Amino acid sequence: MTVVDRDAGPVEPSPRPGAPAESRRRRRHTARWVAAVVSVLGAGLVIVLATRPPATATEVDSPIVGQRAPALSGTTLEGQPFSLASLSGRWVYVNFFASWCPPCQQEQAELVAFAYHHRGPDDVALVGVAFDDAASSAHAFLVQSGAGWPALADPGGSIALAYGVRGPPETFLISPSDVVVAHFDGPVTAAFLDHWLQRAQQEAG
Amino acid sequence: MNAALGHAGVLLGLAAAAVGAGVIVWGIAAKRPELARSGSLYAPLLLLGAVVATVAMERALLTHDFSIAYVAANSSRQTPTLYTITGMWSALAGSILLWGLVLAGYITAMVWRFRRQGSDPMVWWATLVAYVVAAFFFGLMAGPADPFRTVAGPVPANGLGPNVLLQDNPLVAFHPPMLYLGFVGFTIPFAFAIASLVTGRVGEGWQLATRRWTLFAWGFLTVGIVLGAWWSYQVLGWGGFWAWDPVENASFLPWLCATAYLHSVLVQERRGLLRVWNLSLVVATFSLTVLGTFLTRSGVIESVHAFSDSDIGPLLLGFFAVVLVVGVGLIAWRGDRLRSPGGIDSPISREGAFLLNNVLFVGFAFVVLLGTVFPLLYEALRGQQVSVGAPYFDTMTVPIVLALLFLMAVGPVLPWRKTDLATLRDRLVLPACIATATVVACVAAGTRGVLVLATFGLAAFALASNLRQLARATRAAHRHGIGAWRGLVGRANGGMVVHVGVVVVAVAIAASSSFGQRGEVTVRPGSVAGFDGHRLAFAGLAVVRTPARQATEALVRVDGAGPYRPAVSQFGAGTEAVGTPAIDSGPLDDVYLTVDALPTTPGGAVTLGVTVQPLVAWLWVGGAVVVLGAILAAVPGRRRRATDPASAPVPAVAEALGRGPEPDADPALSHMPAASETVGAPAP
């Protein structure tokens, strides 16, 4: 077997007679220069990763906050009938999404994680509404990400109109008594949703 | 009880790693070799701690000890036993435990393997580095990622069960452990690379010592990646096997770097060149495993965007920074001294091909890394969101893959040092003819598309060239009366088998992604629908209930075979329903079925999602051939370094070699010991 103490390189040849000393010296610094460049790039990467803000969604003022939630019923992308009224008594996040929007793609894994951590039967529920999207691509988008919550097709955009959605992703928090508690614009994270849910639950007592 | 046992195991592991590292440092600092040597005694203790913790976790899972928060969150009484066992790696804290167990196993194996060189400072340093890595991961378990944290308040009567996607397919029992055996295995080459930089001994000895460890880890990583693709193909229901997701990229990046290293290390062994480069590749491979773990943390549903709310994210990032600083700093400090004196004589030579191979693989890794972190960088610098998707990766990587296929055909037939065109023509004329014939045949059969035709042609080129090498090797072995199978084992020949597998994978990916058909059909019970030349007969629905799962299956016969059972499944008390695809797999194409919409009325029509992709099954066959090749390459072949004077820098000999026999085609020609054993001068 190979033995480490026999560690040895091949015999080093004497420098070629023609090799100028200057070129040898210049070559000697290559490793150092490359290492310096790699360090700078690596440090930049670490700094960017370390300083990334936890959430990019913001709460926005919206006329329907504090109002009764507009009706939300129709056929899900799976083809089953659904109505928000069936979730009455539970906290609900309504998420407007589209398969074509990058921030929606970004937040999707967060929503899946959030839904997974809150999968108890009386826990907060998630409802998706496809915004200006083909039902087949919206469905494929949800299936690919592993989303299991009901999502409505919203043909004609009547639901989006009722909620005052301008561009996905937008997310609404709805209380067990069917009141819109908050409206968020931008991609959410699981921690963000948890934070707002706890706050709303405390305020509700 | 389980929690106490688990905590004891974790603390034993942490203490063993920390004390072992401390003893080695003390021994080195105080110049007491016997003390530094005794550091290796702590490895079995480390393994014992990891095993105790693992046993405690599995015991808690199997006895439904819901007083442990991890068990309550990741298993339930209804979960089948298999998925109860795999629950250990279905979330973050448990997968760190698996990581710790694998790492402890590797370190113990390393210490045992080098037990006779215990007095070598190189082994001390390597063991020290390995202990420090182990201490970090056991420290995570002792603190922020404690898998044995107990639930606050009353013990729940039942657990929540694992993520539904993780209890849908038995592959979940194999894919993560294989991936971890690969990921964690790169710790040992890294430890030796650091040791080599610290001690300033960068000769070929340590390469020999760690090449096989790298090959081992690389083989497991390959298995893990292929199984992951297979799992996603069978479970996720969208008919694809690779999505350039950050989680997938995180496993692919170290694979690319390790592949580059496995090639370039041959140049160092044979020619003594590329020493610092090889060390850099080993350091890069390990750094990328840590970065990948940081980017994804763990688990299927985790993504790059979920890290900031995790306790261990900053710690992993800090660890990555330390690895980078230590590795890059040591290379900067030692780089000048360790550089090999010679250079590559001719670009058209084996080492020239390996160098180009390395440039391509590192470029590949850079492209993937850039695509993975670019959204983060862009957002940090410009404050806007972008997403980098498959189009970027496909556009950037397809040319690299084509170049690699070409190189895979030409590289193996090139002699070391230099060659002439006549030799090259002799060896490549047949493969080139086969490649041309393949392209002509494909065009005649109606295949269109420049990239696909180029892939098929270059694949045929590479396949023919590598099979030619294998045929020559087996024939030569047979002629020397040592058994033709000898021509299939050993590093070079195993490598050719790996190449054959890679060619098969490349063809399967090109065919399935270029000629796949996707669509929906709506069928009534008892009727037949056609899709892309296949007949889909829908027999009716069946409802299947088990304690863990309730599923509505559509019974579909494909071309008279079956029935196949795509389903919509619901697991446990949760409300999530997931689609379970069914696949009619064949050598020519796969028919991939999902239930897109169940009938709204009894006896109504079902809407099936159908994806027909040619040659997908060959992806898994090719993956298996790659792994087989890796195993064959690990079997000790006949070393021929010393009879091949290429490593001796005497110009006259090199001249003679340029016209010599193809060294790698004939493994039986050499019976001499390795160069590193005959050349005794220690590196300066």
pLDDT per residue as tens digits for the range B628-681? 999 998 887 655 443 333 333 333 333 333 333 344 433 333 333 333 333 333
pLDDT of residue B129: 96
Q: What is the mean pLDDT of chain B?
A: 83
State the CB neighbour count (10 A cutoff) for residue B532. Answer: 16
Contact B11, B49 (CB under 8 A): yes
Contact B242, B228 (CB under 8 A): no
Residues 157-176 of A with CB under 8 A from B: none
For B488, counting Cβ atoms within 10 Å of its Cβ (0-12 exposed, 13-18 middle, 19+ buried), the class is buried
Contact B320, A46 (CB under 8 A): yes
Is B208 close to A2, i.e. CB distance below 8 A? yes
pLDDT of residue B645: 36
Nearest Cβ partner for A148 among B331, B577, B681: B577
**Looking at the DSSP assignment, which residues form a beta bridge with residue B599?**
none
pLDDT of residue B622: 94
pTM, entire model: 0.77
| Cis geometry, peptide bond prior to residue A169 (ω within 30 degrees of 0) | yes
pLDDT of residue B434: 93
Query: d(Cα B582, Cα B554) in Å, to the nearest integer?
Result: 10
Closest of B235, B564, B386, B298 to residue A144, by C-alpha: B235
pLDDT of residue B311: 65
Residues 77-116 of A with CB under 8 A from B: 78-80, 102-103, 105-107, 109-110, 112-113, 115-116
Which residues of B are less than 8 Å from A32 in CB distance?
Answer: 332, 335-336
**Closest Cα in chain A, distance from residue B673 (Å):** 11
pLDDT of residue B256: 96
Contact B143, B68 (CB under 8 A): no
Tens-digit pLDDT profile for residues A133-157: 778 878 888 887 888 899 998 887 7
Angle at the Cα of A145 from the Cα atoms of A143 and A146, rounded to 5 degrees: 65
Report the run of H or E that residue B121 belongs to, with start and end. Answer: helix B121-142
Interface test with B, best of A7, A30, A90, A119 (most B CBs within 10 A): A7
State the CB neighbour count (10 A cutoff) for residue A147. Answer: 22
Angle at the Cα of A77 from the Cα atoms of A76 and A80, rounded to 5 degrees: 40
pLDDT grade for B235, boundaries at 50, 70 and 90: confident
Residue B595 inside a domain? The answer is: yes
Contact B169, B48 (CB under 8 A): no
DSSP of B425-467, one letter per residue?
HHHHHHHHHHHHHHHHHHHHTT---HHHHHHHHHHHHHHHHHH
Contact B271, B647 (CB under 8 A): yes
DSSP of B313-372, one letter per residue?
HHHHHHHHHHHHHHHHHHHHHHHHHH--S---S-SSSHHHHHHHHHHHHHHHHHHHHHHH
Inter-CA distances, B357 with B273, B360, B412, Å: 15, 5, 12
Inter-CA distances, A30 with A25, B330, B333, Å: 10, 14, 11
Which residues of A are less than 8 Å from B238 in CB distance?
Answer: 140, 143-144
Closest of B658, B518, B551, B540 to residue B605, by C-alpha: B540
Query: d(Cα A52, Cα B552) in Å, to the nearest integer?
Result: 43
Contact A65, A107 (CB under 8 A): no
pLDDT of residue B170: 82
| Cis geometry, peptide bond prior to residue B162 (ω within 30 degrees of 0) | no
pLDDT grade for B608, boundaries at 50, 70 and 90: confident
The edge-to-edge listing of strands for the beta sheet with B606-614 is B517-523, B606-614, B589-597, B582-585
Q: Which amino acid is residue B32, in one-letter code?
A: R
Fold of A58-203: Glutaredoxin (3.40.30)
ipTM over 0.90: no
Tens-digit pLDDT profile for residues B375-391: 777 777 776 666 677 88
Domain residues for the domain of B550 are 517-614
For residue B65, how many C-alpha atoms fall within 13 Å in the half-sphere facing its CB? Answer: 20
* Euclidean distance between the first and the last CA atom of chain A, given in angstroms as a whole number: 71
- Count: domains in chain B: 1
Closest of B139, B152, B48, B61 to residue B101, by C-alpha: B48
Is A7 close to B206, i.e. CB distance below 8 A? yes
Q: What radius of gyration, in Å, describes the C-alpha atoms of chain A? A: 28
Residue B540 inside a domain? The answer is: yes
Residue B481 inside a domain? The answer is: no
Q: Average the pLDDT over B540-565 and give the result.
A: 84
Query: d(Cα B273, Cα B349) in Å, to the nearest integer?
Result: 14
pLDDT grade for B57, boundaries at 50, 70 and 90: very high
pLDDT exceeds cutoff 50 at B342: yes
Is A8 close to B205, i.e. CB distance below 8 A? yes
Residue B607 inside a domain? The answer is: yes
